[in-house]
Amino acid sequence: MQICASDLGCVRSGREVFAHVNFSIESGDALVVLGRNGSGKSSLLRMIAGLIRIAAGKVTLEGGDSELTLPEQAHYLGHLDPVKPSLTVGENLAFWTRYLGGAPDSRALATVGLDAIADLPAAYLSAGQRRRLSIARLIAVPRPVWLLDEPTSALDVPAQVRLTEIMRQHRAGGGIVLAATHGPVGLEAAKELRLGEAA
């Protein structure tokens, strides 16, 4: 499997955010997207996820499921954690699992260290716990491409270590990770793409 981006351009509110972006990434690899605030890191991931329009160029997925689009084969983890406060931790995961077309997976909460509070209303979760619940979606519904925007946001050191292992296992199984970040995210031997810098 391979994701290829060719001459990508992004325009938001009439302003060119970036242009002529090219990269390729294969199964088992990771790409870290770096750049200053406003350089388009989040926009790039959202374009690949199909959430905003591609202004120029194209992104293709080779070797994936020919019946599905790239966004349908990707998980997008954005800045905001989609947690319903009136539901319990377990109910939140069950909702997203059904919505994304997966089957119940009791291991997902255990993997992120939330199994002991599965019956707790999500309204009581800390920011870090909400982030871990969002990460549990990646595990519960397998998809080959992970698009992670500042994935370590709000995570303490033990949770960051756990995320590093989760991403390692995903890549070991042939998965692809693209992560936008300002700092280290624990992706070994990752390629780098820097936005907002002169060629």
Q: Which residue, among 110, 115, 118, has the nearest Cα to 139 in the 3D structure?
A: 110
Q: Which regions of 36-194 does DSSP assign to beta strands (E)?
A: 56-62, 74-77, 145-149, 176-180, 191-194
- What is the structure's pLDDT at 199? 42
Helix 89-99 to helix 127-140 angle (10° resolution) is 40
197 pLDDT band, cuts 50/70/90, is low
Q: Please, what's the b/e burial string for 79-116 (b: 16 or more CB within 10 A of its CB; e: otherwise)?
A: eebebeeeebbbebbbebbeeeebeebeebbebbebee
Partner residues linked to 8 by β-bridges: 21
Give the C-alpha separation, 85 to 31, whole Å. 33
Measured CA distances, 14 to 6, 17, 20, 48, 64 (Å): 21, 9, 17, 20, 33
- What is the structure's pLDDT at 106? 74
Mean pLDDT of all residues belonging to the chain: 92
Residue 76's identity, in one-letter code, is Y
Please tell me the least confidently modeled range out of 19-23, 48-52, 106-110, 183-187: 183-187
Query: Full-prediction pTM beyond 0.85?
Result: yes
Per domain, the residue ranges of the chain are 2-194
CB 144 within 8 A of CB 1: yes
Tell how far CA 86 is from the center of its chain. 25
Class of domain 2-194: alpha beta
3-state secondary structure of 33: strand
Give the C-alpha separation, 41 to 32, whole Å. 10
Q: Is 40 left (phi over 0), alpha (psi -120 to 50) or beta?
A: left
* pLDDT tens digit sequence for 86-144: 999 999 999 999 998 887 777 999 999 999 999 999 999 999 999 999 999 999 999 99
- What is the structure's pLDDT at 164? 96
CA max distance for the chain: 52
pLDDT of residue 81 exceeding 80: yes
* 198's tokens: 């002169």
The predicted model gives 140-161 an average pLDDT of 94
